[in-house]
Structure 1
Amino acid sequence: MSASLFLLPALLLAAAAATSKTVVESLAVAPGCQASCGGVDIPYPFGIGSGCFRKGFEIDCINNGPVLAGTTLQVVYLSVDPAESLVMLPVAWQCYNASSPGEAEDYSNGETAGMKKDGVYRISSTHNMLVVLGCNTFGFTASAGNFKGCMSYCNSSGSAEDGMCAGVGCCHVDIPPGLTDSYFRFWAYDHSAMMDYSPCDYVFLVDRTNYTFRRSDLLMDRNRTSPVRLDWAIRNNDAMSGAVLSCSDAAKSTTDPEYACISDHSECVDSINGPGYSCSCSDGYEGNPYLVNGCTRFWPSSTMPPSTVRRRWTTKTI
C-alpha cells in the first residue's frame, strides 16, 4: 500500500499538536489512573485498568500502544468533546491465483466485531467513506443490515490514474449512519487478464480527507490498516434500570445511577449517530464534563486568571 493510507494518523496527530489548548490536566482522568499510553491521551470516560473507565470505554495499553479493549484495533486519538475517536481498522481483501483467476483463492472480510461489544461506538458517516480498489471488482459493506458499495474496473495496467477514484481502479461511496462495525464482501470476477497488476481486490473504510488513490495501491500489503473516525455515545440500555438513550430519557429517569454528565456547568447533548448522548461543558467553561468538578472557567488568552487559579492550570499540546 502507498504511504498515503498508512502514514496519515501521524499527520493527523501532528496537525493536532500544532494547536495549544489550556486544559486542567489533573481533571482529565479519574484520580490515580493512567493518563496516556504511547503518547495518546486517555481522558475519562475512557480509561486503562480497573476503576478507571466507564463500561464500554476500556482501553488496553499493549506494547506501549493503546487499543480498544477486547480487540486488536489501534487507537490514534480520543476526544471527549466532540465525542469521537480515531482508530485503525483492517482492510478487507480477496486474492486470485493464476491457475484459477476466476475464483478467489483467499480472502479476509475485515470484520471488527469486538468493537460493537458494548454498543458505544458508531462508524462516522460524516467523516468516513467506503473505498473499493481493483480492476474488476464489486465490493460492499454488509454491516448491520446495511448494503453499500461500488464497482471498480480497469481495461489495462495503465488505466488507473494517481489521484483519481471515480471507477477506474478505484471507486468510493458515502456510508449510511449507524454502522457499528466493518464487515465486507465481494463479488468474484475473472482476473485472468490482470494478474500481473491487479491480483487482489480491496475494500475499506477511511477518513474521507485522508486518502488519495495511487495506482500502486492495486498491489498494496494486505495487512495494512486505515484511519477511521468513530462517533461514540453513552448508551445505557440496561433492562434493570430502563433504557436511557437520549438526554430526554436521562432527564426523566429516576432509576439511572450512571448519568454521565456529573460535573457542575456541564450539559447533555443528544448523539448525532444512533441512540445515546454525550456531555459538554457549558459556554464559558472547558474541561471534562464526565468528572466531578471537571468543567472549569474558560479564560480567553487576553485575560489572565487570578494567581490563585493560575497555579491549577497548565498548557498542554493536544
Structure 2
Amino acid sequence: MSTVQWLLQISLLLWLSKGLAATQAKPGCQERCGDVDIPYPFGIGSAGCYFDEWFEVTCNNSTDPPKPFLKGVNLEVLNVSLDGTIRVNNPVLLSQNCSGKPSNDTQWWEGGPFSFSNTYTRFTAVGCSALVYIMQDDTVIGGCMTFCKKDATAAKKASCYGLECCQTQVPPGLLSFTANLGTFSDGSADEQEQCKFAFMVDQEWFISNVPDPHTVKDMEYVPAVLDWRIYNATCAASTSNLNTSTSFCGENTLCSTDTQTSSLICSCFPVYEGNPYLPQGCQGTQSIEEC
C-alpha cells in the first residue's frame, strides 16, 4: 500500500467514525443527558426528536450528573441500545412485613412498547414462604416460591433456586401484567410473618453485584432491562430490498417485522454501523482495501 493510499484510508476511517458518532440522535436534537447517550427513536426536547410520546426522554438537570428519565413510565434510563433493549432503574415496590418499607403486594405494569426482557430480566422473590406470580387477564402465567429450612442458611453468592430466594423469567413481549407477592402455608406461622419482598432485576447485575439477596431490601431501585420495538408500524417496502426511501428504516438497513404484534425493529446491514432508524444512520465500515 502506498503512502497516499494509507493516508486516504486513515482519513476515510476517521471521517466514518466521526459520522457514526454524530448520527445517533436526530439532527438538532440533544444527544446526551449526563453520561447517557439518547439515540433516536428516543429523544429529548421537541416532539420531532423522538418517534412518539413513549420514546420521549426528559433530562433532570438538578442532579450531578444530570439523569435521563423515560417519561411514559417514569423510570431513570441507565443505557439505551439500538438492539432493542433499554436498561432502567426499577423500584423495589413489592414487600410484606419489612421494617421501614410500606406493605405492597401488587404492582401493575403497562409500558406501551416496553416489556421486561425475557432474556435479561428476572422476577425475583426473597424471604421465607414467599409466593410471587405474574397475572394477565386473571390468568397466572408465571411465578416461583421460596422456602426456608430450620437451622439452614442459603449459600451466599449463589443463584436463587428456592432456598430463601427464587427467580422466574418474564414471558416475552408482555406489555401489560400484574405482579403479585403473597405467602403460602408451610406449617410455620412465624415464617409467613417474616419480611419478604420481590422485584424485577437485571440478572447479570444481580449475580455480579449482590452477594446476599437480602440486601436488596434496603435498596430503593435495582437495574432492570426492558425490550422495546416500534409498534403499529410496518416496513412499508414493496420489495425485499429495504434499502429504499419507502422503508420505515433508514438506508443500508434490514427492517424486521412481527406480524402478530404489528411491530418492527431496524438493524444495519453487515459491515455497516450506526443508527438504522435515521435516514442515513448506517454507514459503511470497510476499509478501501476491503472494498
TM-score of the two chains, using structure 2 as the length reference: 0.75
Q: Give 1:283 shift.
A: 2.1
* Paired letter, 2:167: H
Q: Deviations over 1:22-65 (max 9, x none)?
A: 46222111111110012100011110011211112111112310
Alignment counterpart, residue 214 of structure 2, candidates 211, 218, 225: 218
Give deviations 1:164-207, integer Å, cap 9, x for gaps: 32111001122211222563212235775359xx8321122222
* Alignment partner of 2:269 out of 282, 290, 296: 282
1:29 aligns with 2:25: yes
For residue 259 of structure 1, report the CA deviation from its aligned partner.
5.7
- Counterpart-to-counterpart distance in 1, 2:275 and 2:146: 45
1:108 to partner: Cα distance: 5.1
Structure 1 equivalent of residue 125 of structure 2: 132
Pair 1:134–1:182, CA change in 2 (3 A): farther
RMSD: 3.5
Q: Is the 8 A contact 1:94 1:202 kept in 2?
A: yes
Distance in structure 2 (CA, Å) of the matches to 1:181 and 1:222 = 27
TM-score, L = length of structure 1: 0.69
Question: What pairs with 1:1-318 in structure 2 (closer than 5 Å)?
Answer: 22=17, 24-50=20-46, 51-55=48-52, 56-62=54-60, 63=62, 64-80=66-82, 82-96=83-97, 106-107=103-104, 109-113=106-110, 116=111, 119-143=112-136, 145-156=139-150, 158-164=152-158, 165-181=160-176, 183-189=178-184, 193-194=190-191, 199-212=194-207, 216-218=212-214, 220-221=216-217, 224-236=220-232, 244=233, 247=235, 250-251=236-237, 260-261=248-249, 263-270=250-257, 275-299=262-286
3-state SS, counterpart of residue 211 of structure 1:
helix
Check whether the contact 1:199–1:219 (CA below 8 A) recurs between aligned residues.
no
Checking the alignment, whether the CA contact within 8 Å between 2:42 and 2:57 is kept in structure 1 is yes
Instruction: Measure the CA separation in 2 of the matches of 1:304 and 1:36.
Output: 33
Tell me the secondary structure at the aligned position of residue 149 of structure 1. Answer: strand
Q: Which amino acid is 1:203 matched to?
A: A
Change (3 A) 1:44 1:169: same
SS of structure 2 residue aligned to 1:24: helix
Q: Unpaired segments of 5 or more residues in structure 2? A: 1-15, 240-244
Q: 1:260 to 1:281 in 2, by over 3 A?
A: same
Instruction: Return 211-220 or 64-73, whichever deviates more.
Output: 211-220
Distance 1:105 1:30, change over 3 A: closer
Matched AA of 2:145 = M
- After superposition, the C-alpha distances for 1:99-120 in whole angstroms (9 at most, x for unaligned) are xxxxx9822534444xx2xx32
Q: Is the 8 A contact 2:120 2:225 kept in 1?
A: yes
Amino acid in structure 2 at the alignment position of 1:141: I
Tell me: CA distance 1:85–1:163, structure 2 relative to 1, closer, same or farther (3 Å): same
For residue 83 of structure 1, what is the amino acid of its counterpart? G
> Secondary structure of 1:290's partner?
coil
User: CA, structure 1 residues 74+142, in 2 after alignment: closer, same or farther (shift >3 Å)?
Assistant: same
Q: Which has the higher contact order (CA 8 A, sep 6+)?
A: 1
Work out the CA distance in 2 between the residues paired with 1:211 and 1:32: 38
